[in-house]
């Protein structure tokens, strides 16, 4: 969403929302409403909120939405979530991007050809990402990177945690116990 070409195309009409806590289509609607900074009054029904979100999207000249961690609502409420996605995906002015650890493709009218699934980092790219966050790496950084199969999000999260704790070794010890 921060790529210069995307910024030029969509300007301030870029929305990133985490769906990690959304376990239903209504939860996804609420996350979108919060991302659009819509006022949510007490007693607002899920249907009313969905109508407001869809109206906001229809009124936009153009925009892009990234729904992150989308496996959570997909696993819990697949049919209703797919219906909601399809309503959003059919809007000609909105680009929809979902990220999910679930590699199945939701039943939505996607553009063709579909984007490729995110691939693991090369070892060099994983270390470069780690170093961008932690400014250095050691043997424990390598162990952590390999433990998560060099997947970009996992490498980034572990590097951030190592930076916070100031010790990849401590994070590795926790990894061994907690995974």
CB 2 within 8 A of CB 52: no
Q: What is the pLDDT of residue 175?
A: 93
Q: Closest Cα partner for 65 from 1, 152, 2, 153?
A: 1
pTM comes to 0.66
The 3-state secondary structure of 44-96 reads CCHHHHHHHHHHHHHHCCCEEEEEECCHHHHHHHHHHHHHHHHHHHCCCCEEE
Residue-by-residue pLDDT tens, the chain, 179 positions: 888 898 999 988 888 888 888 999 999 999 999 988 888 888 888 899 999 999 998 888 889 999 888 888 988 888 898 889 888 888 888 888 888 877 666 666 666 666 677 788 999 999 999 999 999 999 999 999 999 999 888 899 899 999 999 999 999 999 999 98
Q: What is the pLDDT of residue 116?
A: 74
Taking the CA atoms of residue 11, residue 117, residue 175 and residue 132 in that order, the dihedral angle to the nearest 10 degrees is -40
For the stretch 74-113, pLDDT in tens is 888 888 988 898 888 888 888 888 888 776 666 666 666 6
Q: What is the pLDDT of residue 109?
A: 65
Residues sharing a CB contact under 8 Å with residue 75, sequence separation 6 or more, in sequence order: 102
Q: What is the pLDDT of residue 107?
A: 66
């Amino acid at each position: 969403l921060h790529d210069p070409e995307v910024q030029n195309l969509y300007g301030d009409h870029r929305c990133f929302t985490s769906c990690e806590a959304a376990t239903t289509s209504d939860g996804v609607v609420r996350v979108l409403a919060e991302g659009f900074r819509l006022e949510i009054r007490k007693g607002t029904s899920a249907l009313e909120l969905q109508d407001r979100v869809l109206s906001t999207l229809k009124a936009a000249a153009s925009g892009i939405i990234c729904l992150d961690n989308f496996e959570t609502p997909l696993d819990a409420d697949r049919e209703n979530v797919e219906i909601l996605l399809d309503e959003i995906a059919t809007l000609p002015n909105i680009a929809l991007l979902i990220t999910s650890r679930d590699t199945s493709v939701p039943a939505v009218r996607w553009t063709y050809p579909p984007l490729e699934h995110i691939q693991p980092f090369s070892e060099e790219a994983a270390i470069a990402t780690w170093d961008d966050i932690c400014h250095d790496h050691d043997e424990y950084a390598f162990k952590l990177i390999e433990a998560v199969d060099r997947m970009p999000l996992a490498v980034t999260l572990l590097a951030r945690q190592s930076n916070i704790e100031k010790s990849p070794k401590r994070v590795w010890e926790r990894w061994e116990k907690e995974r």
